Structure 1
Amino acid sequence: MMAHNDVNKIDDFDIYMKKGGTNNVDDMLNYISKMGSPELEEPSPAKSESRAARFMVEGADYYMGKYFEQALESFNWSIMEALHPVLEDSPVAQEESTNPQEEEDLFSVPPVRPSKYGGADKGEIRALTRAFACRSLILFDLQLYELSLREVELFFEYACDEEDLSVMQARKAEIIKKLKDIKERDCLDADSANQNKDSHGDHSHSSEPSLQTLRPVDVSLRNEILESFERVEIPKVAECNQSTPALSSALRVSNIEGKGRGIIATRDISPGEIVAVDRAFSAFTQNYDHLPLTCATCLRVSMLPLPCPGCSQVVFCSKSCRDRGLSEDHWLECKIQPQIKEKAFKVTMGACKLLKTFNHAQIDKLTKELRAEEESSSGPDRIKGFSPGGTYSSESYRSFHHLYYDMENRTPKNLFGICKGALRVAKMVTVSGRYFVDDGGKAVTPKMEEFLNLCRTIVVNVEIMLKNSFECGWPDGVKYSGVFPTASLFNHSCYPSVGYKEYGRHMVLFSKLPIKAGEEVTIGYTEPFYYSDRDERRDNLKSYGFTCTCRACKENWYLYQSLPFLELKCTLCHHGTVGAQLVCGDCLNLQKLNEPDGVLEREESEIKSTLELIRNNIVSLEWRKPDKNELDLVSLSKKIELLHKHVAGPCKALMILMNVIDAWI
C-alpha cells in the first residue's frame, strides 16, 4: 500500500539536484513522493445551507430595494451553495457531434450517469427551492413571464414544504394568466393589423409586453437575460471528411516531410469556406471570478444558471448541458473543486480533467497501448492518432495523447515544479474516490506504482495541453483554454491560409486565402507577420520547438505600416506594374496580341473598384462586418482571389480584405 505524502513540505529543487537528481520525470516523482507521510486531508464541504441562507437574505434585501441585478446575482449564489437532491436517472443528452465515436475505439470516453451527483433529501433543500422561487419573482417583475414560469417549474421539481407549495401554486396561476392575456392581445393586434393593412398598408405590431412601467436599468437587465438565452448557430462544414469528421472533405491529414503531421487541401478552396469545426476535448479556466454566470459545458453566459448537484463552483445553462457536463470532464473535479479554487492547482487540474471519466485501470491500460503505438513502426504511427479502424476523432483519448509535446527541452527546475503540482492534484483525486475504484465503482487505496502512474499521466497531459491549447469561450464570457485534437494538426505560418473563431467549446476554421489542391493548409500560432517582426515571432514560437521558415519569415516581410497599399505584377513578365495595371508598358503590345478577349481589362476594372471600396471604407472594413449592400461574402471572396492572383507581394489592400473575412464568419 502506498504511503501518502505531504508534498507541501518538499525540499526545493536545488536540494534535489545536489542529491544527484536528474531531468527524468520518474526520478522527480519518486523523490517528491518520499517527502513525509501524513494522512490525506479530507475535502472541504462542497455545499453549505448556511452560506446559501446568507446569500438568500442578501438577495431579499436587494430585491426589497429594487436592485434587481444584485438580487439576481445573490440568488444565483444561493442556488450554487444550496444542497441538492440526487438527480433522477436520465440518459446523457448528446448534442450533435462533429466527431462521432467508433464502437471499436476503446479510447472513447465512457459515459457516466448523472444519478451519481447530489445527495440531499427533499426536506433538506429548502434554500434551493426558495432561491428558484425568488428568481421567478424577479423575472415576473421584469415581465419575463415564460422564464418566470421556468423557475416555478424548477421549484416544483424539488419542493415539498406545504406552505411554499401553496404560494407558488398561486404564482403559477398568475403567470399563466399573464401569458394568456398577452396571447389574446396578440390575436387582437393581429386582426387589427390585417384590417389596417387592407385599408392603409402594412403596419408592424410587437408581441412583447408593454415595458413602459419598467425603469431603464430594469429594461437593460431584462434584455441581458433574454440575450443569454439566445442560441447562436455554430457554422458547419458543407461535407465532412469521413476519416476525420471535424475536417471538411476538402482537407485531409497527411505526414509532411520535416514537419510531422499536417493538413493538405484535396481540392481548390475559396476564401470564406468553413474548412473544419472542432470541439475541445477538454477546457479549463484560471479565472474563477465569473464562473457563477458561465455554463461549464457550452461556456455560454447564463443569467439563470442551474447548479452542479455536487459542488458549489460550477453551473450549467440548461439540463442538457448539465447532463453532458456531469458525464464528461467535470466528473473528476467535482468533489475537489473547493481545493482547486483555494490553491494554485488550476493548470495542473486542467490537465487532470483530460482524464474525464476514465478510472485508473482504464488509463493504465490505455497509456501502455499508446506507448506501444509510439514505439511501433507498424502501429498508428503511419499517421498518429488514428484508430485501428482508420478514424481520427477529437473525442478520443488516443487523438489527444498523440498530440505534440516536448518534455526534453523543458528546464529541469520547470519540470520539477510541474511534477510537484501533479502530485498535489493526484492526492486530491485520490481523496475524491472517483479515480481509484474497483470494478464495482467503490473507492480503493492505490498502490504506490498506481499513484505514480497517475502523476506521470498528469505531467504528460500538462505538456500536451501547454503545447496544444487554444483560447476558447464567448466574447461576453470567461475565457477558457481548450485542447482541440483536430485543430492542433494544422501547422503554423506567419501568413496563414486559415483563420479561426471560438464558439464556446467549438472552434470554427475558415479559409482566408485561395488554397490550391495539394497545398498545405496552415493557421497562425502567434500574431501574423504584419503585427510583429520576424525575430519577435520566432522568439514567441520557441516553446513549440521549431524555427518558422514560412514565406513571410524567409523573405522577412515588412510590418503593416511599411507595406505598400497595393503592388501588382505583370501577368506576362511578372515585374512590377503601375497602379491597377496588370500588364507593364513593355508587355502591353504583346498582351493585346495574345489576350483579344479582354479578360485582363475586366480584371483591371474589378481591381480598380475594389481599391475604391477599400479607400472609401478603410476604417470600417478593418473593424466591422460591412453591410451586405456594400460587400457580401461571395463578392469579398472573389475580390481576395483576384488580388491574391495579381499582387507582387504582401500589401495593405489584401491584408484588409483578409481581416474582413473574420467579421463574416
Structure 2
Amino acid sequence: MNTSHFDENKREANKTYNVSDLPPSKIQYLRKLKSKDFENIREKYNEKFDKFNYSSNAKCTQKSNEFRENGNKFFAEKQFEDALRMYSNAVVYANLDDIELSVSFANRSAALFQLQRYKECLRDIEYALNFKCPSNVKEKVLKRKQSCIDKIQTNDSRSKAKMREMKRNESIYGVADCINVFQRTISSERGLKANRDIERGELLAIQAPFASVLTPSRYKLNCYNCLRAIPKNRPFPCKKCVQVCFCSLTCCEKAWSEFHQYECCYLELLNFSSTFHLQPRLALRILFKARLDAVLDEFFDRSADLDYSKLNFKVINSLMDHSDKCPDFTPAINLMLLFLSRIFPQLNSDKIALYGCVLLKLIQQIHINGKYIYSRELKTVPGCDQCEVIQDIKIGCALYQSYSLINHSCDPNSLSFMFDGHILYLKALREIKKDEEIFVCYGANSKWQTTSERKAFLEQYYFFDCKCIACEEDAQPLSKSLLCPLCNGPAIFDKLVKCLSCKSLDHFDAKSILNEVEKLEKDIISFDDTIARDLKEAIDSLTRSEQKLLKFVHKSNKILGEVKNKLSLCYQKVNDLELAIKYNEEYLKIVEIEFTNDYIHVFNVRLRLCEKQIKLLQSNCDESLKSTIHKSCIDNLKALKSFLTNNVFPETERSIVDVNRL
C-alpha cells in the first residue's frame, strides 16, 4: 500500500467538496462512475491487474550475472563496444542491494576507459563506489579513477560550445525578463507580451514542463525522467524494473520519488491504445507530481490568486480545457482511475470519483495545451546512403505551464525551436516591439496552409475561429501557389482563385489544374523506386515532370521543389556535381520561402548543398566555376554555423553535425 501521498495530511480522507459548481461534463462523468457499467469495467480491470505478470519486468540476478560474464568474454577479446553493451545489461538487471550492481558498474567503467570515454568512466566509478563495492574491486576502480582524471586534464584543453544565457523573469517561471503576463478585461483571456523591444533570435523561454512522459519505443534510448538521450550503452537502471532507464542517479531518484514508484513494473497496464496513450499517462503523472493530498484542494479552489513564478498545480488547473467541445476521453480516464484505485487501495469510492474529475479535466487541458517533444537525430536520405539529414523524432509529450499561456497566430513572432530532453527553448522569429503580444503557431501556419485550411484545423482541434492578422488579411502560402496565366505570378485557390500579384479573381480553371498537379505529385513520389533501379530513367522522368509542372505552378511551389530535390540527388549519384548543385540551390530557394532560415528543414538542404559544393571544389573542374562555387560555399557555411549558434544547440545535439569538418 502506498501512503506517501497522504502522510502530510491524514485528515484528507474525511474532507468533502462541493461538486455542484463543476462543469456539466464533469458531473456527467461522476454519474457514469456510479453506474453499473463502470462496476463491470472495474471487475474486468481488477481481473486483468491480478493476472498481470509483473515479475517479467523485475530485476533478475541470474540474468545480470550472465550478461556480466558475456561482457568479460568480449573484454578479454578486446571487443570493448560489445563488452560495454553486456555490462550495461548486467547493470539494468542487477538488484540494488546486491554486490553484482557495484561489480557491473566497475566492469562497465573499465570498458568505457578503453573506449576513451573518460568522463562517463568516472561517473560509473562513483556509482560502483556508492553501492556495495567489494574491497578488491574498490582498489581497482580507485586506480582507474586517477588514470581517468589524468586523461581528462590532458584532453580538456579543447574549446567547448557555450550555451547562450537568458536573463529570467523571477515572477514567471521559465521565461525571459522581457516578457510579462497580461489578461484581457472583457474575455479574461491571458497571454504573454513584451515589456521592451525584443531582437530577432533573442531567447524568450527556457523551461521544464510541469510533467512529461516518454513514448514506450524510447524507454531504453532516453532518460525516463528528463527525456535526454542516454549516452550510448551507458544507462542508469531503475530501482526495481528493467523496463525503463535513466541518464543518472539523480534522475532515477527524482522520478522514483515523484511518480515511478507507483507504476514501476506495471507500465503495460497504462497503455490505453497504441495510438492514444501519452496523454492519459501524462494526466496521471501530473496528478502524481501535484500530490494527491493537495490536488483536490487546488482543483476546487476558485480564488483568482495565481503564482506564476514556480511550477504549481493551481496554474495548471487554470488552463483552458474546452470541456464542452473535447472528444470523449472517459474510456482512457477510466483506465487511469482504476489503476489509481489499485495502487492506492486506502482511497474510498467517492475520493476516487473526484480524482476522476481531475484526470478528465487534465486530459482535456492536455488536448488543448499539451506539446509533443522531439529529439533531433541523423537519418539517411532515402535512395542515397551517403546523404544524412537531421530529423525531429517524436519522443514524448509534456504540459508546459508558462508556454501554455501563449496564444496562437498563423504568422507567429516566436518559435519553440528546440528541446534539450524535455526542456523547451523559445526564441523570437523577428523583432518584437514593446507591448506586442507573443504568439506561437499551434500547427496552422500561413506559410504552408491556406486560410480555409488553417481555420478548419484550428476549429477542429482547438475549438476557436482564428481572428489573427494573417487570417483577417487572408495571408496565403506561396508554397501552394499555381501559375497565374495573366502575369505569371503566384495564384492561390482557396474557395476561389486569387492572384497574389495582379489581384485577378477566378480568372482560370484552378480545379482542373490541381487535378493535373495531383497526378504529377503521385508520379513524383513513385520515382523513389525508379531512382534505386535506373538513374537515367529517373532523371528523364523527373525532367519531364519538372517541365509539366512549370506550366501549372509558380516557381515557389513545394511540389516543384521536391522534383528539384530528387533531380539533385540523381545527378549527385551519377557524379554530375554541377547539375546536382544547380538543382540543390533551386530547391533551397523554395524551402526558404516555405520555412525561413529558422527551421531545421532549411539547415538540412543547405548542409547537403555545402557537401556537394565542397566535393566539386576538390575535383578538377573549370577555375571560373570553382571561383563562383567557392564564394557560394563560404556563404552557406557561414549560414550553417550561424544556425547552430543562434539555435543554442546543447552539447549533445551540437555534436550531431560538425560543420567545421566541411
TM range (shorter): 0.5 to 0.7
1:489 aligns with 2:405: yes
Give the C-alpha shift of residue 132 in structure 1: 1.2
In structure 1, the partner of 2:226 is 298
Of 470, 473, 491 in structure 1, the residue corresponding to residue 371 of structure 2 is 470
Partner of 1:530: 447
CA distance in 2: counterparts of 1:63 and 1:400, whole angstroms: 51
> What secondary structure, in the 3-state scheme, does the structure 1 residue paired with 2:287 have?
coil
**Equivalent residue, structure 2, for 1:276:** 205
Q: 1:554 aligns with which of 463, 466, 472?
A: 472
Match of 1:361 in 2: 293
> Paired residue for 1:24, among 23, 28, 45?
28
CA positional deviation for 1:524: 0.4
The structure-2 alpha-carbon separation of the partners of 1:150 and 1:33, relative to structure 1 and needing over 3 Å to count, comes to same
- CA distances 1:83-106 after superposition (whole Å, capped 9, x unpaired): 113xxxxxxxxxxxxxxxxxxxxx
Aligned to 2:171: 243
Number of the residue aligned with 1:334: 264
Give distance in 2, aligned partners of 1:537 and 1:285.
Answer: 29
Is 2:179–2:204's contact at 8 Å kept on the other side of the alignment? yes
Q: Which moved more, 1:478-487 or 1:323-332?
A: 323-332
Match runs of 1:372-383 below 5 Å:
373=302, 379-380=303-304
Task: Specify the alignment match of 1:636 in structure 2.
Answer: none
1:651 counterpart residue number:
none
| SS class of match (1:309) | coil
**2:299 is the counterpart of 1:320:** no
For 2:127, the aligned partner's letter is L
Deviations 1:213-241 (A, max 9, x none): xxxxxxxxxxxxx9xxx99866543351x
Displacement of 1:533: 1.8
2:12 paired residue number = none
Matched to 2:225, the amino acid is: T
Measured at CA, do residues 231 and 527 of structure 1 come closer, stay the same or move farther in structure 2, by a change above 3 Å? farther
Q: Tell me how far apart the structure 2 counterparts of residues 527 and 272 of structure 1 sit (CA, whole Å).
A: 21
Does the aligned pair in 1 maintain the 2:270–2:335 contact within 8 Å? Answer: no
- Structure 1 residue 509 displacement after superposition: 1.8
- Aligned-partner residue type, residue 471 of structure 1: Y
AA at the equivalent of 1:250: C
Q: Are 1:543 and 2:548 matched, yes or no?
A: no
Amino acid at match of 1:491: N
Equivalent residue runs for 1:630-645 within 5 Å: none
**Distance across 2 between alignment mates of 1:403 and 1:484:** 11
Q: Which residue matches 1:461?
A: 362
Q: Distance in 2 between matches of 1:277 and 1:182?
A: 30
Distance in 2 (alpha carbons) for counterparts of 1:285 and 1:180 = 37
2:101 paired with 1:173: no
Please say if 1:430 is aligned against 2:310. no
Note if contact 1:76-1:292 (Cα within 8 Å) is conserved in structure 2: no
Of 183, 191, 194, the match for 1:255: 183
Show the 5 A alignment for 1:129-140: 129-140=102-113
Is the Cα contact below 8 Å between 2:61 and 2:93 reproduced in 1?
A: yes
Aligned ranges for residues 170-209 of structure 1 at < 5 Å? Answer: 170=140, 172-173=142-143, 176-177=146-147, 180=150
* CA RMSD in angstroms, aligned pairs only: 4.1
Alignment check: 8 A CA contact 2:87 2:107 kept:
yes
Please give the alpha-carbon distance, in whole angstroms, between the structure 2 residues aligned to 1:177 and 1:409: 63
Q: Which residue of 2 aligns with 1:630?
A: none
Q: Any idea what SS the aligned residue of 2:438 has?
A: strand
Deviation at 1:394, TM superposition (A): 5.1
Q: Sort the Cα spacing of 1:478 and 1:50 in 2 relative to 1 into closer, same or farther, 3 A.
A: farther
* CA pair 357-207 structure 1, distance change in 2 beyond 3 A: closer
Which of 114, 128, 148 matches 1:141?
114
Q: Which of 233, 252, 267 is equivalent to 2:196?
A: 267
For 1:362 and 1:516, the matched residues in 2 are separated by 41
1:472 counterpart SS class: strand
CA distance in 2, matches of 1:535, 1:663: 37
More helix by share: 2
- What secondary structure, in the 3-state scheme, does the structure 2 residue paired with 1:324 have? helix
- Three-state SS of the structure 1 residue aligned to 2:220 is helix
Secondary structure, aligned partner of 2:32: helix
1:505 corresponds to which residue? 422
Checking the alignment, whether the CA contact within 8 Å between 1:297 and 1:322 is kept in structure 2 is yes
The amino acid of 2:235's aligned partner reads: P
Distance between the aligned counterparts of 2:199 and 2:26, measured in 1? Answer: 52
User: CA shift at 1:296, angstroms?
Assistant: 2.7
Of residues 600, 603, 619 in structure 2, which corresponds to 1:624?
Answer: 603
Q: CA 1:359 to 1:550, structure 2 compared with 1: closer, same or farther past 3 Å?
A: closer
The residue that corresponds to 2:352 in the other structure is 451
Match of 1:430, as an amino acid?
S
**Residues 485 and 142 of structure 1: CA distance in aligned 2, closer, same or farther (over 3 Å):** same
Query: Structure with the greater relative contact order (CA < 8 A, sep ≥ 6): 1 or 2?
Result: 1
Q: Distance in 1 between matches of 2:355 and 2:322?
A: 19
Tell me: CA distance 1:72–1:342, structure 2 relative to 1, closer, same or farther (3 Å): farther
TM-superposed deviation, 1:401: 1.0
The whole-number CA distance in structure 2 between the counterparts of 1:128 and 1:22 is: 48
Q: What is the Cα deviation at residue 282 of structure 1?
A: 0.4
Quote the Cα distance in structure 2 between the aligned partners of 1:617 and 1:34: 60
How far apart, CA to CA, are the structure 1 residues paired with 2:92 and 2:587? 52
Instruction: Work out whether residues 204 and 427 of structure 2, in 8 Å CA contact, stay in contact via their aligned partners in 1.
Output: yes
- The aligned counterpart of 2:520 is none
Q: Distance in 2 between matches of 1:22 and 1:167?
A: 59
Output the CA distance in 2 between the equivalents of 1:147 and 1:22: 50
Q: Residues 92-107 of structure 1 correspond to what in structure 2 (within 5 A)?
A: none
Task: Give the CA deviation at 1:353.
Answer: 0.2
SS in 2 for 1:499: strand
Q: By how many angstroms is 1:449 displaced? A: 0.6
Separation in 1, partners of 2:151, 2:61: 39
Judge which range, 512-521 or 22-31, deviates more: 22-31
Cα pair 1:422 1:458 within 8 Å, conserved: yes
Distance in 1 (alpha carbons) for counterparts of 2:112 and 2:337: 43
Aligned residues of 1:281 and 1:485 also touching (Cα < 8 A): yes
> SS at 1:408's partner residue?
coil
Distance in 1 between the 2:420 and 2:439 partners? Answer: 20
TM-score normalised by structure 2 residue count: 0.60
TM (norm. structure 1) is 0.60
Q: How does 1:349-428 map to 2 (within 5 A)?
A: 349-369=281-301, 373=302, 379-380=303-304, 386-387=305-306, 391-393=307-309, 395-411=311-327, 415=328, 418-428=329-339
Looking at structure 1, the residues matched to 295 and 643 of structure 2 have their Cα atoms a distance apart, in angstroms, of 42
- What do residues 487-520 of structure 1 show as CA deviations (whole Å, max 9, x unaligned)? 1111111100111122322222221122222322
Q: Report Cα offsets for 1:139-170 as digits up to 9, x if no partner.
A: 12213345334323322322355xxx425523
1:307 aligns with: 237
Partner of residue 39, structure 2 = 34
Q: CA deviation at 1:246?
A: 2.8
Structure 1 or 2: more strand by fraction:
2
Q: 1:664 aligns with which of 633, 646, 652?
A: 646
May I ask how many residue pairs the two structures share in their alignment? 456
> 1:66/1:453 Cα in 2 relative to 1: closer, same or farther (>3 Å)?
farther
**1:22 & 1:170 partners in 2: Cα distance?**
61
3-state SS of paired residue (2:264): helix
For residue 433 of structure 2, the aligned residue among 511, 516, 530 is 516
Please report how far the alpha carbon of residue 448 of structure 1 lies from its aligned counterpart in structure 2 after TM superposition.
Answer: 1.0
Q: Relative to structure 1, is the Cα distance of residues 404 and 29 closer, same or farther in structure 2, using a 3 angstrom cutoff?
A: same
Deviations 1:229-256 (A, max 9, x none): x99866543351x432433333222223
Quote the Cα distance in structure 2 between the aligned partners of 1:169 and 1:367. Answer: 55
Corresponding residue SS for 1:624: helix
Alignment-mate amino acid for residue 603 of structure 2: R
State the Cα distance separating 1:556 from its structure 2 match.
2.4
Please tell me whether the aligned partners of residues 280 and 485 of structure 1 are also in contact (alpha carbons under 8 angstroms): yes
